[in-house]
Amino acid sequence: MVPYWRLSAYYFFYFAFIGAFSPYFTLYLQSLRFSAWDIGVLMSLMQVMRLLAPNLWGWLADRIGAKTPIVRGAALMSLLGFSCFFFAEGFAGFFLGMALLAFFWSAALPLVEALTFSHLGMQANRYGSIRLWGSLGFITAVLGLGWLLDCLPLSATLWVSLGLMGGILACALALPEKREAAHEADRQPIGDILRRREVRALFAACFFMAAAHGALYVFYSIYLVGRGYGTTLVGFLWTLGVVAEIAVFLAMPRLFGAFSLRAILLFSFACAIARFLAIGWGVESLALILAAQLLHAATFGAYHAASVAAVNRWFAGRHQARGQALYGSLSFGAGGMLGGLVSGWSWDALGAEITYTLSAGFALLGLVVLWRGWRPSAEAAHS
């Protein structure tokens, strides 16, 4: 039996925290008079730790043969790290709190992704129906907090986020363990998988896609508020993107049946190029911004579902946790760190329009790498 509701509840609270934290914490930092560079550095710590920590946690999960103890410990330590923000004074205090939060926070999702696929087994196409609860959690938080911040101070972001982290801990304690069945790939060294051309191409392309999203996750809310958008409307725009993402998650079984993973990914990268150019140069047009947010269906929804499906296919058996950890660290970690730091520098030095043009450039690089490195024949051979 697949523990559908326990897995779904974890995704709900995990992404609800992101919905409260990612769009509004930067506004809170800005209210404390942190510079764009300071904000970029602080937010990039999430990506720095996702570069380093998931591989450690994935290796540890393989060594002890269990994932849930690490997921539970990470939830508790993340909550304690986040609590530092209530007492921090100045950049150094926030840096320490963010580092502690990010180090343990980065442990959870790759392990839960691997745990979800272990429970699903041959029903892997049901992943989207579980993962969509994360999108619903994001919507609930981003809309609810956006509405609250119209009448409460920005410091309310801390209290709402803390409550959601408590929900993550409660759900982590309820997650059941599931050990992978023996697989013929268990005898294959993980290095052999990593030397395959299509695997390297996917990870490199994911690095560039995460870098492309750096300016979106760090400065999008600041950008819109600075151009006259209210926090309620900003929350609605974040929500619109996630609603489009949910629609894609629901449609993924049919999309996987109709198109190859490679084709879905190439389309997603092409949409990312258009999306970031529209955000950078079309912010004065609400219609264009609305269209750009709808493209989140491709630039995250279809992209992420296809990527984790490919990783699950290539890194089978005992390699599954480390495969998902590598995907998270190389894309959201290394790529997100680069995107956050580049946008933190270019925001003041070059302006918002050029910053989002650089984002489109990162997406273009990812498209080229994926198209040249992952040949259609490779997918047919390993499907």
Q: Are 311 and 290 in contact (CB under 8 A)?
A: no
Could you tell me the pLDDT band of residue 192, with boundaries at 50, 70 and 90? confident
Average pLDDT over residues 210-235: 89
Mean pLDDT of 284-298: 96
For residue 284, the model assigns a pLDDT of 94
Alpha-carbon gap, residue 267 to 293, rounded angstroms: 16
Rounded mean pLDDT of 1-26? 90
Stretch 230-257: mean pLDDT, rounded?
Answer: 87
Report whether 185 contacts 320 (CB < 8 A). no
Kindly report the number of other CB atoms within 10 A of residue 383's CB atom. 9
3-state secondary structure 191-254: HHHHCCHHHHHHHHHHHHHHHHCHHHHHHHHHHHHHCCCCHHHHHHHHHHHHHHHHHHHHHHHH
Residue with more model confidence, 109 or 210? 210
In this predicted structure, what is the pLDDT of residue 337? 83
- For the segment 89-143, what is each residue's pLDDT rounded down to a tens digit? 889 999 999 999 989 988 788 888 888 878 887 776 677 788 889 989 988 998 8
What pLDDT does residue 378 have? 62
Our CA angle for 34, 238, 130, nearest 5°, is 120
If you count DSSP H runs as helices and E runs as strands, how many of each does the chain have, helices first? Answer: 18, 0
pLDDT of 382 above 60: no
Task: Read off the pLDDT of each residue in 226-242 and give the average, rounded to a whole number.
Answer: 87
H/E run at residue 106: helix 90-120
Higher pLDDT, 121 or 279: 279
pTM of the predicted protein model: 0.75
Confidence category of residue 238, pLDDT binned at 50, 70, 90: confident
Residue 227, pLDDT score: 93
Which residues 6+ apart lie within 8 Å of 166 measured at CB? 79
Q: Assess whether pLDDT exceeds 80 at residue 312.
A: yes
pLDDT band at 324 (very low <50, low <70, confident <90, very high): confident
pLDDT for 197: 93
Indicate the fold that domain 4-174+190-382 takes in CATH. Growth Hormone; Chain: A; (1.20.1250)
Greater model confidence, 16 or 22:
16
On the question of pLDDT at 377 being above 80, the answer is no
The pLDDT value given to residue 182? 55
Q: Which of 39-48, 181-190, 239-248, 334-343 has the lowest mean pLDDT?
A: 181-190
pLDDT computed for residue 353 by the predictor: 96
Predicted confidence at residue 106, as pLDDT, reads 80
Least confident residue range of 90-99, 176-185, 211-220: 176-185
pLDDT band at 180 (very low <50, low <70, confident <90, very high): low
- Which residue carries 């290539």 as its tokens? 314
Is residue 50 within 8 A of residue 172, CB to CB? The reply is no
Tell me what percent of the residues of the chain surpass a pLDDT of 70.
95
Give the pLDDT confidence of 22-69 residue by residue, as tens digits: 888 988 998 898 988 898 888 878 877 877 787 788 778 877 878 899
Q: What is the pLDDT of residue 376?
A: 83
More confident residue, 106 or 306: 306
